[in-house]
């Protein structure tokens, strides 16, 4: 709107919109971050670790809303339907990439969301309860070859990266395992620690304390090489599974159509929030590495993950009912 038009509006006594002022005022009320999983899981844990610092950076409260169910799709759908006004954001987990192929969703991630920042990446680890008869991954392979489909493994949900990557892992190892899906990482880790399921494929964030205590025994990690987050445990690639790699990740996404100044301000605030030494240390001691990326890197990464795991899902016939 040019100066002449503004003066004309002012002359009529109408309110004069001030675009610059409106953009500069954001946020003028609390901002909500949808976590598409129940409390206690890794996504919830990471969100709450940077929540207070993000609120300080923005100058307004940041409210974490847990919208669990359907492998994270319920919360993601709510975020995809939100107004692009900068007041609803999504902390997406790696399930967001696999859901794009596994499920029939009312949105496409790369169209519905505006990438803000890749927050963190880390290893998945296959762990066994200390009372289970598996001290190595080769023990699992031997047992599964003797009795196919007799060994169950838990994950945080159907079609998530833990499920899809374990399907690929079992295929490359020439074995068949039985999937035991849960509604989120919190419930799954409770049963794994209780010994109600012999194996659990999970990001390290929610199991690191149980690995340190000895309740859960790591059999392998999904990074290409060994990782500092699970010391002295070889990757599956190092155990003879070729180039197998399946890092877990968390990404901060906004609604597509959100004004660019707001997206930029949120990205800058988020990067500062997760880069505070105490916040970064607390996130990384959970078992992942803070990334704090640009929107461009985040977008390219998410697109590549959707394509990569989409191929695996289609090749193995994985559906929401798997």
CB neighbour burial string for 230-269, b if at least 16 within 10 angstroms, e if fewer: beebbbbbebebeebbbbbbbbbbbbbebbeebbebbbeb
Contact 117, 298 (CB under 8 A): yes
**Which DSSP helix (H) or strand (E) runs through 68?**
none
pLDDT in tens, 1-21: 444 443 443 443 433 343 344
Alpha-carbon gap, residue 264 to 260, rounded angstroms: 6
Q: What fold characterizes domain 3-121+247-316?
A: D-Maltodextrin-Binding Protein; domain 2 (3.40.190)
Q: What are the beta bridge partners of residue 93?
A: 250
Closest listed residue to residue 178, CA positions, set 154, 158, 157 = 154
The predicted structure's pLDDT at residue 322: 58
DSSP-based three-state secondary structure for 146: helix
Give the H/E segment covering residue 190: helix 185-194
- Which residue do the tokens 């196919």 mark? 148
By the 8 A CB rule, do 205 and 42 touch?
yes
Element (H, E) at 117: strand 113-122
Residues 6+ apart with CB under 8 A from 50: 119, 270, 273, 274, 279, 283
pLDDT by residue (tens digit) across 79-99? 999 999 999 999 999 999 999
User: How many Cα atoms occupy the beta-carbon half-sphere of 107 within 13 Å?
Assistant: 20
CA atoms within 13 A on the CB side of 263: 18
> What CA–CA distance (Å, rounded) separates 183 from 71?
7
* CATH 3.40.190.150 in the chain, residue ranges: 3-121+247-316
Q: Where in the chain is the domain with CATH 3.40.190.10?
A: 124-221
Please, what sign has the CA dihedral across residues 51, 52, 55, 57?
A: negative
Q: What local confidence, expressed as pLDDT, does residue 186 receive?
A: 82
Contact 206, 41 (CB under 8 A): yes
Peptide bond into 201 cis (omega under 30): no
User: 3-class DSSP state for residue 267?
Assistant: helix
Per-residue pLDDT of the chain (322 residues; tens, 9 = 90+): 444 443 443 443 433 343 344 456 999 999 999 999 888 778 999 999 999 999 999 999 999 999 988 888 999 999 999 999 999 999 999 999 999 999 999 999 999 999 999 999 999 999 999 999 999 999 999 999 999 989 999 998 888 899 999 999 999 999 999 999 987 788 899 999 999 999 999 999 889 999 999 999 999 999 999 999 999 999 999 999 988 999 999 999 999 999 999 999 999 999 999 999 999 999 998 889 999 999 999 999 999 999 999 999 999 899 887 5
H or E stretch including 53?
helix 42-58
With respect to CATH, is domain 124-221 assigned 2.40.50.140? no
């Amino acid at each position: 709107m040019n100066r002449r038009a503004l003066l004309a509006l002012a002359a009529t006594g109408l309110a004069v919109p001030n675009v610059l002022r409106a953009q500069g005022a954001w946020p003028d009320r609390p901002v909500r971050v949808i976590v598409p999983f129940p409390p206690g899981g890794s996504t919830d844990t990471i969100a709450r670790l940077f929540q207070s610092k993000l609120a300080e950076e923005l100058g307004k409260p940041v409210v974490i809303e847990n919208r669990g169910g359907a492998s994270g799709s319920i919360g993601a759908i709510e975020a995809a339907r939100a107004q692009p006004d900068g007041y609803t954001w999504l902390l997406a987990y790696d399930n967001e990439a696999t859901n794009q192929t596994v499920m029939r969703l009312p949105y496409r991630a790369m169209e519905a969301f505006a990438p803000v920042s890749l927050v963190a990446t880390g290893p998945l680890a296959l762990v066994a309860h200390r009372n289970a008869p598996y001290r190595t991954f080769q023990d699992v392979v031997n047992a599964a070859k003797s009795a196919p489909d007799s060994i169950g493994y838990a994950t945080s949900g159907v079609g998530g990266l833990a499920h899809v990557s374990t399907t690929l892992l079992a295929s490359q190892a020439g074995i068949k395992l039985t999937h035991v899906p849960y509604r989120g990482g919190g419930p799954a880790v409770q049963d794994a620690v209780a010994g109600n399921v012999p194996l659990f494929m999970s990001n390290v964030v929610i199991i690191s304390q149980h690995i340190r205590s000895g309740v859960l025994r790591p059999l392998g990690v999904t990074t290409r090489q060994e990782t500092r987050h699970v010391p002295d445990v070889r990757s599956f690639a190092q155990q003879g599974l070729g180039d197998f790699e399946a890092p877990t990740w968390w990404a901060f996404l906004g609604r597509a159509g959100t004004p660019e100044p707001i997206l930029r301000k949120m990205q800058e605030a988020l990067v500062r929030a997760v880069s505070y030494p105490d916040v970064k240390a607390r996130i990384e001691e959970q078992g992942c590495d803070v990334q704090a990326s640009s929107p461009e890197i985040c977008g390219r990464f998410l697109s590549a993950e959707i394509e990569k795991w989409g191929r695996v899902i289609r090749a193995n016939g994985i559906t929401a009912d798997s």
